[in-house]
Every structure is written in structure tokens, then in C-alpha cells.
């Protein structure tokens, strides 16, 4: 059967595992949307392009491959921030954009949506993608589609394909099947690294694994867990990789993020004489805003981009090969020192507790009492994230956040992506009032597709995170009556909770309601988690000139 550029594109997307596409239509993209409609893939249209990117990113983190479809420039450039988030945090997101025709490009006129040149959008996207293409020629379109999508899946970072509005309908040339050789490690370097790693682990008194986000992105968590269990090495996660393994696993010690961590977890990691950083992003968030005290001599870093033990580097060693061979290395089982106690199982509320006003600590206590194996938690930045550090998730890979890029507005649209991928999960989205005002209107999208998230709006009357860094009137926002949003969109139920008992009751009713739910949670203006306070103090030393002088 002959194919067009459009039919081949969506057939290949489906073959690579995507089942939904997120987008907003626009005139340059409408012919591509028509082919999408005919493809059988699910279409989820949102209200604003930044939300399209966050939703497709959330879907990608859960499902393994996300796709966003928008129009030329006004759509693509509007979505740039959320694609940048996916790039920064290694999420396999494909951006599809409609575009002008080859004839438009030759005429070089002032076409609507054009910025500077016809190639402006593609060149801008070069900064936040690992592969990109403009399908001006149907003779080469198939090969270009395959090249970009394959790169997205291999490197777990976004790619970009621009589809001229008329080329999408043209017949495509069937591509030749090319058997691409699988990458291989340098055998000598791999052997040397395994020998050095085995010696380091074997002689260590207190080894620890930091299991980070690349393990999840590349499907390597089972290998890392096998290493931990075989050699009896404790495991910490990071904020970005929280729930990479079940947080009820006996070897799990908590989330490490320098001084933002629980003090016992921080001491255990930083006192270690062998820190195995597997799939790790060495960011300032990972290092607790550079408060971490880690001796580089005691570290082993194994990622898709870097292999290092102490001060030695090992070129051309694949992460999969390293983990596989390390799991088979002759290393004696370790007897670790006393492990930090896991985060306590939250205690049920007493009658006295129920009368108390809510603060961040009590909020997450109550959330912890309502986590089940099919609960997925999606957190926005600020205390929605940092306050959740000691939550113990019941299952692996059921906690999502943009914990490195830290863009406000992630949680609500990302929750929509999660629900598209896992419609039977109970998704809890936790978002501050400032971030909710950016993308919370996407509850309208959830209503349209009969999705049933429970969204918690932590209302502390403004940009609470920024207040702890450098306060001023610029941190104020307009007060909303958030519970009226379900009336506005004519769907779902809402509650406002000022006390712990009201929150407990609202959650119970929301779980039973079987519909979209919004719970506005009143938090004292200056209340925050210890982690957020510490982060604010460290960033304040850098951002506030008065503190710098001090």
C-alpha cells in the first residue's frame, strides 16, 4: 500500500510505542492533525502550548515515548520552555510542528507566524533537541523521520520534526531497511573499569548506591537493583529519581540532596568511602545547592555520557555493559553500617490533630496516609516537591517532578499525561498557588477527557519559594477562589481545607467521588518545609546582595 508522509509518520510513531499525541491545532498543522486523526492514535488537545509540552513529557516519563503536535512558531516557540525541561531532565519527547510549504520558502515572503527566517524555529530548537529535521522533500522524509525518532528513543531527549502543510499529503518513498550496528563498549576500558570498581567496592567499609534518573529513563533500574541486592549495598535516590525503586525496599535509605536531605541520610552518604552514582545528574539540586560534602576520590560515576572512578575516566564504556558486568563481578557481600531509619510511617490523626490548622508537615503526613500501590504523585516545584521528600511511595516509578529544571506549572498538565498513559492510576497532583495560576486551567482538559486527578492547591498566598530567597512585593499574586474552578469548567468537585480534619475528610470524599477533584489547602503564609527553608537560605546567600555582604 502506498503511503504519504503523514501516514508513514504516525505509523512509525505507533510502531515505536506511543499511543497518544498531545497538541493544539493551528493552520499550518491542521493537515498533519487530519493524518493523526486517521492514524488511530489518541488525540489530546490542551488549552496552551506550554501545557502540551508538559503533558507529553509526563506521558513520556511514564510510557517511554511522548509526542507533541503544534503549529508553526506561535505554537512551537510557545512550547519551548516545556521542551527545554524535557531536554534538561532527559525525557524522550518528540516535537512535531506544522510549517510553511517549500514554495512559501522559495517566495521568501512575510508569511504569518514567521519570525526572522523560515528556519528560525528549527534553529532555536537545536538548543533543546538532539536531532531535528524539516521534511521539505518527500523523497528523504521517511529516512529523516526514522533518524529523529530513533535518536529520541536512544538518547532519551527531545527531537524535532517540522512538516510543511502540503508535503504531509505527498506520497513518500519507502525507505530501505538499514541494519544499524549496535554500539559497543571499548573492551579494554570496560575491563579496566570493572576491575577498578570491584576493587573499590570490595575494600569499602560503607558503600552506597545513588540510583538516579537515567536508570529509569533507559530501563536499567533492575540491573542497578540486582547489584545492590547481590552485594548488599544500601540505595539512596535523588529528588529527580524519587521512587526509582520502591521506597519500602529494605535497602532504601532515603532521598539524598546535600543539606536539603534528612540529616541521617546526608551523613550516611557523605561518610561513605564508596559512592556509586549510577545514572546520576550532578546538578546543584543533587548537591543540595552546593552544600554537599562529597570527596571525589570516593566516587564512581556511571552514566550514558560519563564513566569515572575517582580521578580516572574510562572512555567509550556503555552504561548497560558496565552494570551488567559489575553485577557479575566477584565481590564479597557487604555488611553495611547501621542504616538511617526510613521515613516513619505516618500516624493516623487523632481528634486533637483534626482540629489543628494545616501546615506543610501535616499536609504531607495526611497525603502519606492515603498512598496506595496504584497512587502516582506529580509534584510542582517549591514545597509541593521539597515537602514530599520523605513521602514513602508504595511502588517504583510512581513519583514525577521536574526536580532539576524546576519550572513552575509542570504538575497539572504532566498529570494529564500520566492519566493518558495510566488511566487506572489514582493521580495526585500537588501544586502551589502561584504555579497553579500558570497552568491550572488545564483541569478543563482533564474534564474534557473525563480524567480523574485529585489536585491539591497549596495556597500560601504567593510565591512562597521566592520569599525564602529574597522577599518583596513582586512575590505577591492575585487571590483566587480556587474551588470555583470546577463550577467554571462545569465538571468535578472541589473542597477547601483549613484544618487537618477538613483535609482528611476532603481526601476521603475525593477518592470516593470517581471524578476530577480539586482541594484548596490553606497553608500559613510563612510556613515551609525544613528543606525549602535550607534551599532558600543557600540561594539567598547568592541572590541577595545584603546577604552576600554579610
Least Cα distance to 54 among 432, 455, 414, 534 occurs for 414
How far apart (Å, rounded) are the C-alpha atoms in residues 228 and 233?
5
Q: Which cell numbers hold the place of 273?
A: 568511602
Q: What is the total residue count of the chain? A: 550
Q: Which cell numbers hold the place of 197?
A: 570498581
How far apart (Å, rounded) are the C-alpha atoms in residues 311 and 207?
18
Q: In what order do the strands lie in the sheet with 42-45?
A: 42-45, 20-23, 66-70, 93-99, 159-164, 131-134
pLDDT attached to residue 549: 65
One DSSP character per residue, 240-267 reads TTTTSS-TTSTTEEEE-BTBTS-HHHHH
How far apart (Å, rounded) are the C-alpha atoms in residues 457 and 521?
6
Q: In what order do the strands lie in the sheet with 493-497?
A: 399-401, 375-379, 426-432, 454-459, 517-522, 493-497
187-327: CATH number: 3.40.50.1220
According to DSSP, residue 499 is labeled: B
In order along its 550 residues, the chain shows pLDDT tens digits of 589 999 999 999 999 999 999 999 999 999 999 999 999 999 999 999 999 999 999 999 999 999 999 999 999 999 999 999 999 999 999 999 999 999 999 987 889 999 999 999 999 999 999 999 999 999 999 999 999 999 999 999 999 999 999 999 999 988 777 778 889 999 999 999 999 999 999 999 999 999 999 999 999 999 999 999 999 999 999 999 999 999 999 999 999 999 999 999 999 999 999 999 999 989 999 999 889 999 999 999 999 999 999 999 999 999 999 999 999 999 999 998 889 988 888 999 999 999 999 999 999 999 999 999 999 999 999 999 999 998 988 788 799 999 999 999 999 999 999 999 999 999 999 999 999 999 999 999 999 999 999 999 999 999 999 998 999 999 999 999 999 999 999 999 999 999 999 999 999 999 999 999 999 999 999 999 999 999 998 899 888 888 776 6
* Domain range annotation of the chain: 5-169, 187-327, 351-543
**Do 5-169 and 351-543 come out as alike in CATH topology?**
yes
How far apart (Å, rounded) are the C-alpha atoms in residues 45 and 35?
15
User: The cell 555582604 sits on which residue?
Assistant: 549
- Residues with Cβ within 8 Å of 138's Cβ and at least 6 positions away in sequence, in order, are 5, 167, 170, 171, 172, 173
Bridge partners (DSSP) listed for residue 236:
210, 254
CB count, 10 Å around CB of 105?
18
The secondary structure element, H or E, covering residue 325 is: helix 319-327
Residue 432 contacts residue 384 (beta carbons within 8 Å): yes
Classify strands 42-45 and 307-309 as parallel, antiparallel or unpaired: unpaired
For residue 234, the Cα-to-chain-centroid distance in whole angstroms is: 24
pLDDT attached to residue 457: 98
pLDDT attached to residue 63: 97
CA dist 262 to 102, 243, 430, 434, 533, Å? Answer: 58, 16, 21, 27, 13
pLDDT attached to residue 550: 60
How far apart (Å, rounded) are the C-alpha atoms in residues 215 and 184?
19
Phi, psi of 212 (to 5 degrees): -110, -175
According to DSSP, residue 440 is labeled: G
Least Cα distance to 92 among 61, 70, 68 occurs for 61
Predicted TM-score (pTM) of this structure: 0.96
How far apart (Å, rounded) are the C-alpha atoms in residues 458 and 520?
6
Question: Any alpha helices (H) in 126-220, and if so which ranges?
Answer: 138-155, 187-203, 213-217
Between 3.30.870.10, 3.40.50.970, 1.25.10.10, 1.10.260.40, what CATH number should domain 351-543 receive? Answer: 3.40.50.970
Residue 455 contacts residue 519 (beta carbons within 8 Å): yes
Fold held by 5-169: Rossmann fold (3.40.50)
User: The cell 516557540 sits on which residue?
Assistant: 77
How far apart (Å, rounded) are the C-alpha atoms in residues 403 and 281?
11
Amino acid at each position: 500500500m502506498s503511503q504519504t508522509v503523514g501516514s508513514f509518520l504516525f505509523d512509525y510513531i505507533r510502531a515505536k510505542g506511543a499511543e497518544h499525541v498531545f497538541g493544539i491545532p493551528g493552520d499550518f498543522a491542521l493537515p498533519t492533525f487530519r493524518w493523526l486523526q486517521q492514524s488511530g492514535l489518541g488525540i489530546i488537545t490542551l488549552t496552551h502550548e506550554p501545557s502540551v509540552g508538559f503533558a507529553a513529557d509526563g506521558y513520556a516519563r511514564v510510557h517511554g515515548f511522548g509526542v507533541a503536535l503544534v503549529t508553526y512558531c506561535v505554537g512551537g516557540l510557545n512550547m519551548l520552555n516545556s521542551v527545554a525541561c524535557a531536554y534538561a531532565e532527559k525525557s524522550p519527547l518528540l516535537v512535531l510542528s506544522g510549517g510553511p510549504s517549500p514554495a512559501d520558502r522559495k517566495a521568501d515572503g512575510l508569511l504569518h507566524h514567521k519570525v526572522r527566517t523560515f528556519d528560525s524555529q528549527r534553529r532555536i530548537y537545536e538548543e533543546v533537541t538532539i536531532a531535528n529535521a524539516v521534511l521539505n522533500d518527500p523523497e528523504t522524509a521517511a529516512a529523516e523521520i526514522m533518524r529523529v525518532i530513533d535518536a529520541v528513543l536512544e538518547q532519551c531527549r527531545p527531537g524535532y520534526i517540522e512538516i510543511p502543510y502540503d508535503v504531509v499529503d505527498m506520497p513518500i518513498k519507502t525507505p530501505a531497511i538499514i541494519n544499524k550496528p549496535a554500539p559497543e563498549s571499548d573492551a579494554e576500558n570496560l575491563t579496566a573499569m570493572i576491575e577498578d570498581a570491584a576493587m573499590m567496592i570490595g575494600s569499602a567499609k560503607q558503600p552506597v548506591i545513588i540510583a538516579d534518573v537515567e536508570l529509569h529513563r533507559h530501563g536499567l533500574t533492575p540491573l542497578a537493583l540486582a547489584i545492590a541486592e547481590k552485594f548488599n549495598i544500601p540505595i539512596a535516590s535523588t529528588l529527580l529519581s524519587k521512587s526509582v525503586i520502591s521506597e519500602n525496599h529494605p535497602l532504601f535509605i532515603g532521598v539524598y540532596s546535600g543539606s536539603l536531605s534528612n540529616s541521617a541520610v546526608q551523613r550516611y552518604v557523605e561518610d561513605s568511602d564508596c559512592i556509586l552514582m549510577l545514572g546520576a545528574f550532578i546538578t546543584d539540586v543533587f548537591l543540595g545547592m552546593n552544600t554537599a560534602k562529597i570527596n571525589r576520590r570516593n566516587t564512581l560515576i556511571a552514566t550514558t555520557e560519563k564513566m569515572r572512578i575517582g580521578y580516572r575516566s574510562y572512555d567509550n564504556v556503555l552504561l548497560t555493559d558496565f552494570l551488567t558486568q559489575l553485577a557479575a563481578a566477584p565481590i564479597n557481600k557487604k555488611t553495611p553500617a547501621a542504616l538511617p531509619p526510613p521515613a516513619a510511617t505516618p500516624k493516623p490523626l487523632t481528634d486533637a490533630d483534626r482540629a489543628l490548622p494545616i501546615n506543610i508537615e501535616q499536609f504531607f503526613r495526611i497525603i502519606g496516609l492515603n498512598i496506595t500501590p496504584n497512587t502516582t504523585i506529580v509534584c510542582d516545584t517549591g514545597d509541593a516537591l521539597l515537602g514530599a521528600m520523605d513521602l514513602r511511595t508504595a511502588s517504583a516509578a510512581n513519583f514525577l517532578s521536574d526536580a532539576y529544571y524546576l519550572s513552575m506549572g509542570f504538575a497539572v498538565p504532566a498529570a494529564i499525561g500520566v492519566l493518558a498513559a495510566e488511566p487506572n492510576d489514582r493521580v495526585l497532583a500537588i501544586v502551589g498557588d502561584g504555579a497553579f495560576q500558570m497552568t491550572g486551567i488545564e483541569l478543563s482538559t482533564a474534564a474534557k477527557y473525563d480524567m480523574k486527578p485529585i489536585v491539591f492547591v497549596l495556597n500560601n498566598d504567593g510565591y512562597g519559594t521566592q520569599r525564602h530567597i529574597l522577599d518583596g512585593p513582586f512575590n505577591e499574586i492575585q487571590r483566587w477562589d480556587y474551588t470555583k474552578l470546577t463550577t467554571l469548567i462545569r465538571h468535578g468537585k472541589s473542597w477547601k481545607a483549613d484544618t487537618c480534619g477538613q483535609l482528611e475528610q476532603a481526601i476521603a470524599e475525593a477518592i470516593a467521588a470517581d471524578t476530577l477533584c480539586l482541594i484548596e489547602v490553606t497553608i500559613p503564609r510563612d510556613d515551609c518545609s525544613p528543606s525549602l527553608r535550607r534551599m532558600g537560605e543557600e540561594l539567598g546567600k547568592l541572590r541577595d546582595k545584603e546577604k552576600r555582604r554579610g
